[in-house]
Amino acid sequence: GRSPVVLGIESSCDETGAGLVREGRLLGHAVASSMDEHARFGGVVPEIAARAHVHAATPVVRRALAEAGLTMSDIGAVAVTTGPGLSGALQVGVAAAKGLAYALGVPLYGVHHLAGHVAADTLEHGPLPDPCVVLIVSGGHTSLLLVRDLARDPIVHLGDTLDDAAGECFDKVARVFGLPYPGGPAVDRAARDGDPRAVAFPRPMTGPRDDPWTFSFSGLKTAAARWAERHRAAGRPLPVADGAASLQEAVADVLTRKAVAACTEYGVGTLVVVGGVAANSRVRSLAEERCAAAGIRLRVPPLRLCTDNGAMIAAIGDLLVRAGAEPAPLNVSVDPSAPL
Ligand code: KG4
Ligand code: ZN
């Protein structure tokens, strides 16, 4: 028979997401964000995020079902993010998923947030080729992965950031530049009117002795802050557009250079770029240029599937169900610092 409709629930950070997927097809999804509530603090406040998930969990599930034209009784399996993420935030989603799975008498699957980000692209572009290189860039992660069969094989972690994630770098520098939170989209908008060659920001971890798959963004953040400080100290207005364009160029350069090099090194023909920063216009255009030059196929999911959402969790859940994976026990716990 047909495989079941999988409900995916995501609550690892400030987005509450619910999505419904069957056999690789997205049937409906909904996202609620507590982003506005964190804006005046300049970053996600864990306790506020957890409370917001409590309020949003049931409504987003209902909205996803309504969009799909389905009811609760159509749900045949539940997948939920168990980590990594904020502990309190994760616990709300996991509790909701357990309650639904228990009440509906359907299996529960605990999934890794990053595997969800990778799976997001399958909803738009179909099954992933084996192998592929995945660059995950968000507010919490900057990782290069070697992915085989998502449902069966362990993901190989090629490298990570030593310090800040790329999205965190955008968010923190945006603050210094006086741009609104979240900083990534604000930097992207401001950069449209700027010159990417105006400021020669460093390209961290690209030296001959640096690990080719490891990133570092705290030095770039500091360089941007110093540049802004020099203008302020001299009483000059800050050329925000030039600063934003130059910062974006530096981040996009490092990310795409390493990702394409990983494809070449491992003889992989497909690069997938996922996570919130994959929404960045320069990351996208430079990835396109460099992949085309290297003969690599580039896959980037649409913006709405790049940022945290429930559809991506449903997507990995659907892959697990169809691969015959073992469901999680109903007492499964969250794993805030889950390794891959
Ligand atoms: O994947 P995501 O929604 O959440 C996690 O961090 O897991 O990613 C959010 C991050 C934030 O740091 C945000 O500033 C960044 O993605 N972001 C962007 C853009 N849109 C979102 N960064 C640069 N350019 C963008 N257009
Ligand atoms: Zn994420």
How many CB atoms are located within 10 Å of the residue 200 CB? 11
Q: Any idea which ligand is nearest the CA of 14?
A: 1
Predicted TM-score (pTM) of the model is 0.92
Q: What is the pLDDT of residues 125-182, one digit of tens each?
A: 999 999 999 999 998 889 999 999 999 999 999 999 999 999 999 999 999 999 998 8
Ligand 1 center from residue 45 Cα (angstroms): 16
Ligand 1 center from residue 165 Cα (angstroms): 10
Q: State how far the Cα of 153 lies from the Cα of 131, in Å rounded to an integer.
A: 11
Low-confidence ranges of the chain (pLDDT < 70): 1
Q: Which atom of ligand 1 is nearest to the CA of 183?
A: 14
pLDDT score at 46: 95
Q: Which atom of ligand 1 is nearest to the CA of 167?
A: 12
pLDDT score at 333: 95
pLDDT score at 339: 80
How many CB atoms are located within 10 Å of the residue 25 CB? 11
pLDDT score at 43: 80
Structure tokens, 45: 């406040």
- Provide the total of helices (H) and of strands (E) in the chain, helices listed first: 11, 10
Residues pairing with 15 in the sheet: 33
Separation in Å, CA 193 to CA 239, 243, 246, 277: 10, 10, 11, 19
Ligand 2 center from residue 317 Cα (angstroms): 16
Q: Which atom of ligand 1 is nearest to the CA of 174?
A: 14
Residues pairing with 25 in the sheet: 22
How many residues does this entry show for the chain?
Answer: 340
Q: What is the pLDDT of residues 243-265, one digit of tens each?
A: 999 999 999 999 999 999 999 99
Query: Strands 270-274, 15-22: parallel, antiparallel or unpaired by DSSP?
Result: unpaired
pLDDT score at 329: 96
Query: Measured on CA atoms in the order 249, 251, 255, 258, is the torsion positive or negative?
Result: positive
Query: Strands 75-83, 25-33: parallel, antiparallel or unpaired by DSSP?
Result: unpaired
The residue type at 314: A
Ligand 2 center from residue 114 Cα (angstroms): 7
Q: State how far the Cα of 58 lies from the Cα of 151, in Å rounded to an integer.
A: 28
Q: Which of 307, 308, 309, 312 to mutate to test the pocket of ligand 1 (most atoms within 8 A of CB)?
A: 307
Residues pairing with 112 in the sheet: 83
Q: State how far the Cα of 220 lies from the Cα of 44, in Å rounded to an integer.
A: 22
Where exactly does CATH 3.30.420.40 map onto the chain? 5-119+306-322, 129-301
Q: At 32, is the secondary structure helix, strand, or coil?
A: strand
Distant-in-sequence, close-in-space partners of 87: CB < 8 Å, separation ≥ 6: 46, 334, 336
Structure tokens, 131: 């192998």
pLDDT score at 181: 83
Q: Which of 181, 277, 303 to mutate to test the pocket of ligand 1 (most atoms within 8 A of CB)?
A: 277
The residues lining ligand 1, judged by C-beta closer than 6 Å to any ligand atom, are 13, 138-140, 167, 170-171, 182-185, 187-188, 275-277, 279-280, 307-308
Q: Which fold has domain 129-301?
A: Nucleotidyltransferase; domain 5 (3.30.420)
- End-to-end alpha-carbon separation of the chain, Å? 32
The DSSP annotation for 84-142 comes to SS-HHHHHHHHHHHHHHHHHHT--EEEEEHHHHHHHHHHHHH-SPPSSEEEEEESSS-E
pLDDT score at 120: 95
Q: Does domain 5-119+306-322 have CATH number 3.40.50.2300?
A: no
The residue type at 133: V
pLDDT score at 40: 85
The residue type at 3: S
